[in-house]
Amino acid sequence: MKKCLTCDMIHMLDKSYPVREARHGTSSGRCDWHAWDDDGVWICDVCGRAQFDENIAWCPRHDKYVCKSCAEHQRIEEKYWFWSHYLLVKCPSCGEEHPTLSRAEYLGEHPWQTNPYKCRDMPIWYPGGRILTEVPKKKIVSCPSCQRQLTVSKVGEYRCPSCHNRFVVKGKI
């Protein structure tokens, strides 16, 4: 297995971080999580161009991606893993600022962490070292407050990532 360079570097700092297989790149291997613009994994919903994971952010409210070329952004000097900074991109859909994907993953807010059913490259790492190696059974429900379609894996109480209201899922999954 050819290892993803970025996964391997993060793993050196945090042993709980999984090293995924490199699917892209010839000089330095990359997984889908750490894809570059020429890999065509992360596509901006504004301009339609593929982007590097450190140059594109995700809006959880509208489930859209926006790159730093299509929106105002600011550089935040804060160390995480081996990076010394990250970008906050102002979303044209909701007006809020969202971190780029590498920072979002560090925070546990990456789109594939919030909805593992969309994940293209397992396993999924979560802050605190929890690893999800396979996607559990799912059920699609609508948030009673904002009607956003959400995927859940078990009965219980949930908080909508869009409107932040809490709701309960009952019955069978």
142 and 117 together in one domain: no
116 and 142 together in one domain: no
148 and 109 together in one domain: no
Residues 140, 134 contacting (CB under 8 angstroms): no
Distance CA 79, CA 18 (A): 20
- What residues make up the domain containing 60? 5-135
122 and 158 together in one domain: no
What's the pTM? 0.78
Distance CA 160, CA 131 (A): 22
φ/ψ region of 49 (left if φ > 0, alpha if ψ in -120 to 50, else beta) reads beta
29 and 94 together in one domain: yes
53 and 86 together in one domain: yes
161 and 173 together in one domain: yes
66 and 108 together in one domain: yes
pLDDT tens per residue, range 16-46: 999 999 999 877 799 999 999 889 999 999 9
126 and 141 together in one domain: no
Distance CA 20, CA 39 (A): 16
32 and 101 together in one domain: yes
Ranges of beta strands (E only) in the chain are 42-43, 50-51, 56-59, 64-67, 73-80, 83-90, 97-99, 124-126, 130-132, 139-142, 149-152, 156-159, 166-169
25 and 47 together in one domain: yes
> Residues near 135 by Cβ (< 8 Å), separated by ≥ 6?
116, 117, 119, 122
Q: Residue 48 — pLDDT band, cuts 50, 70, 90?
A: very high
Exposed / middle / buried, residue 79 (Cβ in 10 Å: 0-12, 13-18, 19+) = exposed
Number of domains the chain is built from: 2
pLDDT tens per residue, range 91-135: 999 999 999 999 999 999 999 999 888 999 999 999 999 999 987
145 and 82 together in one domain: no
More confident residue, 52 or 173: 52
